[in-house]
Structure 1
Amino acid sequence: MSAPGGERIEIVRATQEHVPKILELARSRSLQGADPAAASQEGFLVSEYTEEVYRAQVVRAEHFYVAVKGPDVLAFLLAYSDERIEQDEWLNRRIKTTLGSFLVIKQVCVARDAARQGVASLLYHHVLEQWTSSPVIAAVVSEPPNQASTRFHRKLGFEELTRLRPPDGRLRTVWVWRKPRESMLQAQYAIAVDLYKHEDNTNWNKLTNFLYITAGLAATLAFVLGKDGAQSEGVARGIGVIITVVGFASALAFAVMLRFGRRYLQARKSAVVDLEEHMAWHGGQRIVGRQVADPGAAWLHSSPTGLVMMLLPAFVSLCWVAMLAVLIAA
């Protein structure tokens, strides 16, 4: 990878000579003494490792790499397998009891002047290309939220596994990366599509039922207020008020149901699109997610039909309110 200025960024195994610069880089990203709001956006470290710890990890860790450009250390990544976990690593031992074997990315840190240049991704891919035998995890601090790290792991295809609070009191979100298994992706895709279709059909059924109920109430109201309806005008008006109130309540209820039904549908659609993104890397084609990112294709993210479906009951509820006002004023 070529860096600005023409020099090439190289990923090399960390050595004892790199440790002073690694320590300096880690301290520059420490949460201690930093503004939490700024650190949340830029990323931070909470493990206050000493020089002795880094020197020991140079020898001990299976994956300890630095990104260098000439004599400068731009970033480093420290990772090791569950076999190298220390006794005092409560979080990793807790994960091991459930997940089994894994590789933990303990620290990744990029110099501020090298941020947003793909250096961290370069380090991660260097590790992920080598490690295929078991899941790769990364525990990201959630208090305060490390939003930069969260965005980064999502971008690389990590999924949220769980949230745990170690003895240090800081909540961690544990992210996991697994080598995709095509058979599992296909099975999950079929389930995701079925759920998407189910939510879509459910919304249309809700709208159909709403129209039936509205038509029935409107016909009943017309009959009651007509010449063949109730003999007493007062009785007819009273029944009419009851019908309009029921109609308004029905329209309001369906408006709420369709609003949240539309949200559920969008969530199911997002799940399908995410799975298609994974499958596209393994020979699949984007179907639901096709052209979503194209200019002028914002309507593909959220169908206007869904908006009309949601607004129709709201409009009908206003009509019922207007009818109620007419009956009361008459």
Structure 2
Amino acid sequence: MHSIGAQKIAMPSLVSKELWDKSGRWSDSAEELFRLKDRQKTDFCLAPTHEEVVTNLIATAKHLTEIHLPIYLYQITSKFRDEMKAKHGLLRGREFVMKDLYTFDANESQAIKTYEKVCNSYENIFKRLDLPVIKARASVGSIGGKYSDEFVLPSDLGEDEIYKCNACQTAFNTELVLNGSDAECISCKSNDLTKMNAIEVGHAFLLGNRYSAKFDAKYSSNDTNAKNIYEMGCYGLGVSRILAAAVEVLSQNHTICWPKALAPFKLCVVLPKRGSKEDTGNGTVFGQQFANCLSNVLNEDILIDDRTTQTIGRRLTGLQTLGIPYTIIAGKQITDEIPKFEIIDNQSKQNYFMTQLECIQFLENLL
């Protein structure tokens, strides 16, 4: 977010009915909204999104002019939605963590440029996470606006249904198709489509003046001082859902696979069993020293498995459930004349025997 010039703010989770009435969403949101009253019987809700709050904030800043635009404001906070059936842990919960961004531009052409910039930023985030996310055109739903795109991970567990065109690679939500039995691509009109289930992990909306007009949110023109309505966009990433979806999509059998960028630790050093030939031959001390060396060279926290009363094999079985990408074992070759560690790539299941220097060079290229 910082790379595109966004500023981090904090907005309240408890929002008055007055703001939601102004946008018209208090009555439109039906059962999904958590509603409550204070001791004065004033109505509030626990915000699932913050379009009303941020637009009201900008509307009160009467001094803003065209020279201050664009304005990008984001937060990372808990959201609340009264789901009919919360399930699958973090994939669909009544409380969840979201990164939401709200943008304010001078006109529609600038807002579209911002929209493309943010979508590209989201795609770069998912590339860094090494997640096979698809960008798909979607319905604007109750949030409203001119159009929207969602970012989805293909998965049988997903509740979204997506068409992907085999001719032009355009993807779109099935909600945009009126007749499912005669569906065609929204771009090239081809009927050669692949239908799949997917987990939504992000969404972008080009809002236009859906909220800014209702809140009378205006900026002053540089030339004429005329007051003009902002063109807005809103963009969300489901932080907690991305965690759950990544594990769901990448993991195999009983082995958790995290994206390297999300793994709690990228490396684990497994020390020899206590009393073993490797332990008495200074393999344990060497392993601990190497773990400290790796931490300094790679600038990473290293997990040291010092459950040395257990065999290495038993400890490896347990480590598979943590999703750590690489395991380094101070095993049988650690006491050789030229000591070697065993490195296991826990995702590809390949293993390598390397000296201390070879290990460092190997890991520097991967992490």
Interval of TM-score (by shorter of Structure 1 and Structure 2)? under 0.3
Higher helix fraction: Structure 1 or Structure 2? 1
Relative to the length of structure 2, the TM-score reads 0.23
* Greater gyration radius: 1
Relative to the length of structure 1, the TM-score reads 0.25
Higher strand fraction: Structure 1 or Structure 2? 2
